Amino acid sequence: METSEIIVGLDIGSTKIACIVGRKNEYGKVEILGLGRADSLGVNRGVVENIQHTVDSIRKAVNEASNGSGVEIKVVNVGIAGQHIRSLQHRGNIMRNTIEEEIAETDIQDLTENMFKLALPPGEEIIHVIPQEFIIDNQQGIRHPIGMSGNCLEANFHIITGKVAAAKNIEKCVTKGGLEISEMILEPLASAEAVLSEEEKEAGVVLVDIGGGTTDLAIFQDDIIRHTAVIPLGGNVITDDIKEGCSIIRTQAEALKKTFGSALASENKDEEIVSIPGLKGREPKEISLRNLAHIIQARMEEIIEHVYYEIKTSGFEKKLIAGIVLTGGGSQLKHVAQLTEFITGMDTRIGYPNEHLAKSPAGEVGSPMHATGIGLVIKGFQNTERQRIRRESGGNKSGKNNSSFFEKLFTKGIEFFEKDGNT
């Protein structure tokens, strides 16, 4: 087994840190070779708050994945999220020297790299620059410009930015864990690769990844990324509400949520009671499952309302034929899809990370909570393929030295239009 054919995804979440090892089989599908996970003790709402705790958790997850897969892990693809993430739309253009030469990938690279020169507020850096559609000499709506002729090449871009400090802290933790970062990828984009089909992206779909600290959102329409957002609420606030509302400790609240939790109070009967052991010999505490569901539903409604607000402000509410796909650990709550449909009026399904895998993974690996980790592996293979194509086409003829810290770490983001254009 050669390490060159193996990609590792490292999902640094607020609840867990997961390391997933994968490789492609002879049919081009991804096989998951190993999974390691550890409790995330140093991350809150997608942002590192304790370097050493995060490093320890990363090492534990990586060692477990390495032992399970038999692969020595040195390079990883890392997810980035957090409420510091912002997105914006921008149009850029370049003038080409001659109309005789066909538009090449180097032209698209030059146009994309120009977007990294945008002026941003202090302390922010561009993470992804994703072309949405191209304009050649005022001809609109071009998806695959390679091979066409024209003087003026323009593109509408979806640009995702984040705090420099947050990204550097993630990089510091990974480096201290003895690893090298191949690229940093926005987590909802990774999750989308794992759980969405090409038909859904074409028809129009909202990917909602309900994690422990944040809820990540990505809207696709006409196979183009249209909107991204990070909502600073997730499964952890539900656990905290249960802890306060039921007067129990946090570990009991988390277990109660996972085992008996429901997002619809009406689906539980008043007489359904669960007994929680008392502390230090105290009497057990009896909790009504309907009351538990009321607590969960109230917070879940708030999260879904935030999601619905983002959908409406994106301007694509009426164009999302495929509705909503929920993934992440929070999507495993009972009746959460029904509650989402009730609030938004949109078709909703739970997304399992098996769309691009060789076979549906069994057990924990196939859980929605690992959608981001599996997506990071898939995005890694896509990036490797793009680099191979660029090498074969002669690389960057512009001769630019793309050696800055963030240009090394962050993907340039032309994955959403290149799939057909370079094959």
The C-alpha atoms of residue 265 and residue 245 are separated, in whole angstroms, by 15
Residue 247 phi/psi, 5° resolution? 55, 55
> Looking at per-residue confidence, does 393 or 192 come out higher?
192
Specify if 36 maps to a domain: no
Strand 224-231 relative to strand 273-276: parallel, antiparallel, unpaired? Answer: unpaired
Specify if 321 maps to a domain: yes
> Per-residue pLDDT for 390 more than 80?
no
Residue with tokens 């890392």: 78
> Looking at per-residue confidence, does 272 or 281 come out higher?
272
Angle at which helix 289-314 crosses helix 235-246, to 10 degrees, equals 150
Specify if 367 maps to a domain: no
Specify if 413 maps to a domain: yes
- Whether residues 94 and 240 share a domain: the answer is no
Tell which of 351, 379, 406 closes a domain. Answer: 351
Specify if 70 maps to a domain: no
- Whether residues 155 and 205 share a domain: the answer is no
CATH of the domain at 314: 3.30.420.40
pLDDT of residue 392: 73
Q: Are 63 and 52 in contact (CB under 8 A)?
A: no
> Per-residue pLDDT for 197 more than 70?
yes
- Whether residues 138 and 225 share a domain: the answer is no
- Whether residues 153 and 295 share a domain: the answer is no
pLDDT of residue 422: 46
> Per-residue pLDDT for 382 more than 60?
yes
pLDDT band per the 50, 70, 90 thresholds, residue 355: confident
pLDDT of residue 281: 77
Average pLDDT score over residue span 316-325 = 96
Q: How does the average pLDDT of the chain come out, rounded?
A: 88
pLDDT of residue 101: 87
pLDDT in tens, 168-178: 999 999 999 99
Tell which of 312, 328, 351 closes a domain. Answer: 351
- Whether residues 347 and 233 share a domain: the answer is yes
CATH of the domain at 140: 3.30.1490.110
- How much helix, strand and coil, in percent to the nearest 5, is found in the chain? 40, 30, 30
Identify the weakest region by mean pLDDT among 134-138, 172-176, 246-250, 355-359. Answer: 355-359
pLDDT band per the 50, 70, 90 thresholds, residue 357: confident
> Per-residue pLDDT for 370 more than 50?
yes
Specify if 150 maps to a domain: yes
Instruction: Report the run of H or E that residue 92 belongs to, with start and end.
Output: strand 86-95
- Whether residues 208 and 346 share a domain: the answer is yes
- Whether residues 346 and 409 share a domain: the answer is no
- Whether residues 135 and 226 share a domain: the answer is no
Specify if 328 maps to a domain: yes
The reported pTM is 0.86
**What is the chain's length?**
423
Average pLDDT score over residue span 192-212 = 95
The C-alpha atoms of residue 154 and residue 95 are separated, in whole angstroms, by 9
- Whether residues 153 and 204 share a domain: the answer is no
pLDDT in tens, 69-93: 999 999 999 999 888 999 999 999 9
> Per-residue pLDDT for 4 more than 50?
no
> Per-residue pLDDT for 409 more than 50?
no
Q: How far is CA 43 from CA 53, 67, 80, 277, 412, in A?
A: 9, 25, 12, 29, 26
- Whether residues 324 and 407 share a domain: the answer is no
Tell which of 295, 328, 351 closes a domain. Answer: 351
Average pLDDT score over residue span 223-227 = 93
Range of the domain at 313: 197-351
Specify if 151 maps to a domain: yes
Instruction: Report the run of H or E that residue 392 belongs to, with start and end.
Output: helix 371-392
- Whether residues 215 and 309 share a domain: the answer is yes
pLDDT in tens, 21-66: 999 888 878 889 999 999 999 999 889 999 999 999 999 999 999 9
Q: How many domains is the chain partitioned into structurally? A: 2
- Whether residues 239 and 309 share a domain: the answer is yes
What's the CA angle centered on 318, arms 210 and 372, to 5 degrees? 25
> Per-residue pLDDT for 412 more than 60?
no
> Per-residue pLDDT for 374 more than 60?
yes
pLDDT band per the 50, 70, 90 thresholds, residue 98: confident
Which residues lie across from 108 on neighbouring strands?
none
